[in-house]
Amino acid sequence: MVQMRSGLVRPGLIVDIKKIGEMTEITETADGGFRVGAAVSGMELSEHPRFGKVWPGVLEAVNLIGSKQVQGRASAGGNLCNGSPAGDSVPAMIAAGAVVTVQGPSGRREIKVEDVPAGPGRTNLKSGEILVSFTLPPRPAGSGDAYLRMIPRTEMDIAVVGIGVSLTLKDGVCTAARVGLGAVAPTALLVEPAGQALIGSRLDDAALEAAAAACRAACRPIDDKRGTVAYRIKTAGVLLKRTAAIAAKRAGGH
């Protein structure tokens, strides 16, 4: 809609998918996971009694999209299909290990969130396919997630770097970790080596530095009006440490 109003696109046909039940529902799956309809707005997600307790990082990422007014309409589905490398909810969804259900003329398929974006403004959805929902896996005890972004202002801004971290702790040892990284490459990335660097550690300085180094190494940013290459790479490392610390604190609090 925004692109239409600003004259960037002129679609011949507009289909409103915000009235399809499956796309606007939030359900807890039998195994303890969540299914979030692709058109659920940020506001609706934050009003859900349980979602934010289980996935505080995903929720804070979705709620960072725009302002209160924007939150009333904008959805995680739109944020992902928008194809922006800086979309806030995407790294958090990647860290969460979310999978999307896609419906097309020839049926349904499931893809990992990190495989949806194809490049700035582009997705791997085929012509005629739409995103139906996100499925987030069940949460073992001792899990926590977090999302942080660097923006020059404090709100109404676009991420210069965004990082989602999801991890599980058992007796102080990290047993699972995933890191999603945004705004530093043509698409949001799953940084597997960063997660690996944390797994098996007690999130000590050496492990955090190794994970930060993995994030820096994964960056393929550009110099642009929002930040330099050097700044983005450095910031990716700084934010990894800060985000992991918040996720760990939340994991401990479970």
Partner 1 sequence: MNVVNNKWIGQRTIRPDGVDKVTGRAAFAADTTMPGTIWGKVLRSPHPHARIKSINTAKAEALPGVKAVVTARDIVDFPIEKGAVMLGIQDMRWMCRNVMARDKALFPGHPVAAVAATTEAIAAEACKLIEVDYEVLPWAIEIDDALKDGAPILHEWNKFDGKPSNIMGRLESKKGDIAVGFKDADIIIERSFATRPVHQGYIEPHACLISVAADGKTTIWSSSQGQFMVRAMTSMLTGIPQSDIRAIPAEIGGGFGGKTIVYLEPLATLLAKKSGRPVKMVMTREEVMRATGPTSGSKSTVKIGAKKDGTIVAAHGAFYLQAGAFPGSPIRGAVGCSFAPYDIPHILSEGFDVCSNRSKVAAYRAPGAPIGAYAVECVLDELAEALKMDPLELRLKNAAKEGTKAAHGPVFPRIGYIETLEAAKNHPHYAAPLGKLQGRGVASGFWFNAGGESSAQVNITEDGNVVVTTGHPDIGGSRAGIANICAELLGIDYKRVSVIIGDTQTVGFSNLTGGSRVLFASSMVVTQATDKIIATLRERAAKIWEIDPEAVKWEDGAAHPVSPNAGEFKPLTLADLAEKAPSQGGPIGASVQLNTQGAEGGFGTHICDVEVDVDLGIIRVIRYTAVQDVGRAIHPSYVEGQLQGGVAQGIGWALNEEYIYNKDGKVDNPGFLDYRMPVCSDLPMIDCALVEVPNPKHPQGVKGVGEVPLVPVMAAVANAVNNALGKRFYSLPMSPPKVSEALDAPTQQAAE
Ligand X SMILES: Cc1cc2nc3c(=O)[nH]c(=O)nc-3n(C[C@H](O)[C@H](O)[C@H](O)COP(=O)(O)OP(=O)(O)OC[C@H]3O[C@@H](n4cnc5c(N)ncnc54)[C@H](O)[C@@H]3O)c2cc1C
| Region of 171 on the Ramachandran plot (φ > 0 left; ψ -120 to 50 alpha; else beta) | left
Residues that bind ligand X (CB under 6 A): 1-2, 17, 38, 64-66, 70, 73-75, 77-79, 81-82, 84, 87-88, 130-131, 158
Q: Which amino acid is at 91?
A: P
Q: How far is the CB of 209 from ligand X (least distance, A)?
A: 28
C-beta of 2: minimal distance to ligand X in Å?
Answer: 5
Q: Which amino acid is it at 209? A: E
Distance CA 39, CA 24 (A): 5
Q: Per-residue x/- marks for partner 1, 208-237, CB under 8 A? A: ----------------xxxxx-xx--xx--
Work out what residue 180 binds among ligand X, partner 1, none; the CB cut-off runs from 5 to 8 Å by kind: none
Half-sphere exposure of 38 (CA within 13 A, CB side): 20
Question: Parallel, antiparallel, or unpaired: how do β-strands 34-37 and 99-104 relate?
Answer: unpaired
Using CB distances below 5 to 8 A depending on partner kind, what does residue 150 bind out of partner 1, ligand X, none?
partner 1
Tell me how far, at minimum, the Cβ of 8 lies from partner 1, in Å: 12
Binding mask 152-171 for partner 1 (x = CB under 8 A): xxxxxxx-x-----------
Distance CA 198, CA 193 (A): 9
Contact between 63 and 42 under an 8 Å Cβ cutoff? The reply is yes
Single out the segment in contact with partner 1 by CB under 8 A; choices: 51-59, 149-157, 162-170, 201-209.
149-157
Determine the Cα–Cα distance for residues 81 and 30; give it in Å rounded to an integer: 27
Which residues contact partner 1 by CB under 8 A?
150, 152-158, 160, 224-228, 230-231, 234-235, 238
